[in-house]
Homo-oligomer: A and B are copies of this chain.
Amino acid sequence: MSSVNEKQSERIPAAERREQILAAASLVFGERGYFGATTDQIARAAGISQPYVVRMFGTKESLFVEVLARASGKLLDTFALEIAQWKEQSGSPDRELGRRLGAAYVNLIEDRGILLSLMQAFSMGHDAVIGDRARTDFLKIYRMLRDDAGFSPEEVRTFLAEGMLLNTLLGLRLPEHYGSDEATTELLECTFQTKLQLVLDVVGEHAKESATA
């Protein structure tokens, strides 16, 4: 059932349990959105009871806020690392960094939930508290690409645009339908290119897990 914690009924220090819940919540929030996800679904995915989820985070809203912070944190860390690596061996041309960051972005789908819960947050601008966090985090990404990676505003825009298309295809669960249709196949190959196999593998694992649920 759970993709995070198969063995339950084990007593675990709060800090560790916290991370388990955040990981599970990322998946469930990413899958069904803030309103669509229930604290009970998250609890089951983490292998614990629903009241414990609520007591550890206070409210569903603050749990989502922490999920968002964790997801954008991981994304920013990933980019920062890639930029730092590129800078210290600064022989490569500018265009190379863009491809590196793009590849790093696609790699993030291995930790499923990160990209999808980010995308869910980006559609919650109407919400007073979540919307503020989402805008702030999105702008952090923008500034890192412009100031640290040295992209021009147009380059940042193009990069972000490709990322948002990627998120959309994931949100549509299009990779799960690879091969079922000529247009689907073409679009997926064109968008993911060399990373397509990784995406399909992750989808395949997910399908296996869902089957045992």
Contact = CB atoms under 8 A, between A and B. Distances in A.
A123 B154 CA distance: 26
Nearest to A162: B161
Contact of A135 (B131, B143, B173): B173
A4 interface: no
Interface in A6-38: 31-36
Nearest to A139: B183
A129 to B, nearest CB: 13
Nearest to A184: B139
Decide if the interface of chain A is mainly helix, strand, loop or mixed. helix
Q: What's the interface size class on A, roughly?
A: 35 or more
A88 interface: no
A157 B187 contact: yes
Contacts of A161: 158, 161-162, 164-165
A32 B120 CA distance: 11
Interface of A: 31-36, 119-120, 122-126, 131, 134-135, 138-139, 142-143, 146, 153-154, 156-158, 160-162, 164-165, 167-168, 170-174, 176-177, 181, 183-184, 186-187, 190-191
